Each structure stands twice: as C-alpha cells, then as structure tokens.
C-alpha cells in the first residue's frame, strides 16, 4: 500500500501503528469519521472501532459498560491517576471520579479519558453522597489495619472502588466513608504497591467475579 504524505511525515514507530487510509468506497455509516477514513487511524483502539469517531465509540461503550465505578483521590497531583484512568477504560468502567483537586495529570491516561465519563467531587463526603444516590457501595482499596484481603472478598456488583495517593494511601475522611476497605496481598519488602498497579488488580478482581 502506498504511503500518504501525512503518514510519511510521522515517525516510523507511529506510522506503523493502526491502519492507513480506507481503501475502496467509503462506508455509508455515520459512525465513521471522514478524516480518519481519509488519513488513516493511528489511535490505540481495538479493531472493532477503527475509523469510528470518538463520539461513536463512547456511544457504543455506553451500551456495554460494567457496573463498577473508579474513584481516585487527587490531593497531591499524583502522576498515577492517568494510569488508573487508562485501566478503567480497558475494563470499561461505568465512570471515573476525581476526588479533591479538579485538575489532574492526564499524561498517563494516553487520551483514554475521552472514552470515559469523568466526574469531579470536592471531597469524600461529596463522592459518598453521590454514590448513595446511585445505590452504589463505596469500597476502599488500601493496606491499612483492619482491611480485608481482596483475594478473599466478594465485591459488590454495583460499587465504587476508591484509590488513594501513592505513599499515604486513602485519606482518613475517605476511609471513614467506605463501607469496606480491602487490601492486596504483598510478599516483598515494600509497604505498598504503585497506585496504578493496585487499581488494575482491584478492577480485574471485579471483572473475574462479575464479567467472565
């Protein structure tokens, strides 16, 4: 296939990702983005969504979202937030909630926040108030005294999994607001694992219990 001028201008590692311009007659389907059809789709999306507009992808994901939400405390502008958001997209979470500072570091999200519904809450009370109105159980994930092992816990189908900052973990206000706090078993020398990794483990635990 010939290389278009737009593709030629891309770095080699970028130009090799995804697909090039659409070959043949364009599909008569409003989900397809004319610009992507013309120039190619180099986004990190599954093949099902190649050439689709962002709006069309979000609309389709909305028909199959899982019933768990993810909340992340944002008091110290943690770089891990983006990683948590990216994983929430991978597991098609119902929504992502930023608690604390409204602005958060999106770099690690790799633009996946475009495909999610992201809400902001001023503090733990605002989050739990919203969750109660939605009939969602708030579950904290942190290695603190009295926590229950995630590996042995039954996660609620309709819930909010809350994660704290790297290092200090969940704030005291959030810990008090959680109906239950779960911990991830560790066997090495460090006190805690990366917040992004912890979120991925917890979300996958929900998936194993309710989605497979």
Same domain, 25 and 95: no
pLDDT for 14 equals 47
Taking only the tens place, the pLDDT of each residue in 93-146 is 999 999 999 999 899 999 999 999 999 999 999 999 999 999 999 999 999 999
**CATH for 128:** 3.40.1280.10
Tell me the mean pLDDT in the region 78-97: 94
Q: What confidence tier does 167 reach under pLDDT thresholds 50, 70, 90?
A: confident
| Dihedral angle of Cα 141, 145, 150, 155, to the nearest 10 degrees | -70
Pair (53, 15) in one structural domain: yes
116 and 146 co-located in one domain: yes
Based on the fold, state whether residues 80 and 149 are members of the same structural domain: yes
Poorest-pLDDT segment among 22-36, 52-66, 167-181: 167-181
Please tell me whether residues 84 and 188 are part of one structural domain.
yes
- pLDDT band at residue 9, thresholds of 50, 70 and 90? low
Pick from 130, 154, 152, 135: nearest CA to 206:
154
Q: Positive or negative, the Cα torsion across 48, 54, 56, 57?
A: positive
Helix axis angle, 81-90 relative to 195-210, nearest 10°? 20
Please check the confidence at residue 2 and state whether its pLDDT lies above 50: no
Identify the DSSP state of 149.
E
What's the CA gap between 30 and 5, in Å, rounded? 26
53 and 88, same domain (yes or no): no
pLDDT of residue 105: 87
Which domain, by its residues, includes 75? 68-210
Give 16's contacts (C-beta < 8 A, 6+ positions apart). Answer: none
* Residues 16-26 pLDDT 10s: 789 999 999 99
Categorize the per-residue pLDDT at 168 as very low, low, confident or very high, splitting at 50, 70 and 90.
confident
Question: Where does a domain end: 22, 42, 62?
Answer: 62
Q: Residue 5 — pLDDT band, cuts 50, 70, 90?
A: low
Confidence of residue 79 (pLDDT cuts 50, 70, 90): confident
Is there a single domain that holds both residue 17 and residue 32? yes
The pLDDT assigned to 11 comes to 53
For residues 23 and 123, state if they share a domain: no
Question: What are the CA-CA distances from residue 124 to residues 12, 99, 127, 159, 162 (Å)?
Answer: 45, 7, 5, 15, 10
Which residues make Cβ contacts (< 8 Å) with residue 150, sequence separation at least 6? 141, 182, 183, 184, 185, 201, 202, 205
Helices (H), the chain: 5-8, 12-15, 34-39, 54-62, 81-90, 124-134, 172-177, 195-210
Whether the pTM exceeds 0.85: the reply is: yes
- Give pLDDT tens digits for 182-192: 999 999 998 88
Q: What is the mean pLDDT of the chain?
A: 92
Of 62, 90, 105, the residue that ends a domain is 62
Q: Are 60 and 86 in contact (CB under 8 A)?
A: no
First-to-last CA distance in the chain? 39
């Amino acid at each position: 296939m010939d290389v278009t001028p737009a593709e030629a201008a891309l770095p080699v590692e970028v130009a090799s990702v995804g697909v090039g311009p659409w070959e043949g007659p364009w599909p008569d389907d409003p989900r397809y983005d004319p610009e992507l059809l013309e120039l190619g789709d180099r986004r990190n999306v599954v093949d099902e969504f190649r050439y689709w507009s962002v709006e069309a992808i979000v609309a389709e994901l909305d028909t199959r979202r899982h019933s768990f939400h993810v909340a992340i405390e944002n008091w110290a502008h943690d770089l891990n937030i983006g990683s948590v958001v990216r994983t929430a997209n991978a597991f098609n979470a119902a929504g992502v909630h930023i608690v604390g500072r409204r602005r958060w570091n999106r770099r690690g999200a790799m633009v996946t926040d475009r495909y999610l519904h992201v809400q902001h809450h001023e503090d733990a009370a605002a989050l739990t108030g919203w969750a109660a109105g939605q009939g969602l159980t708030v579950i904290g994930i942190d290695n603190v005294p009295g926590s229950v092992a995630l590996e042995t816990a039954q996660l609620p189908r309709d819930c909010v999994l809350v994660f704290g900052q790297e290092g200090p973990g969940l704030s005291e206000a959030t810990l008090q607001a959680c109906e239950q706090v779960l911990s991830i078993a560790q066997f090495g020398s460090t006190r805690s694992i990366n917040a992004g990794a912890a979120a991925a483990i917890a979300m996958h635990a929900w998936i194993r219990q309710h989605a497979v």
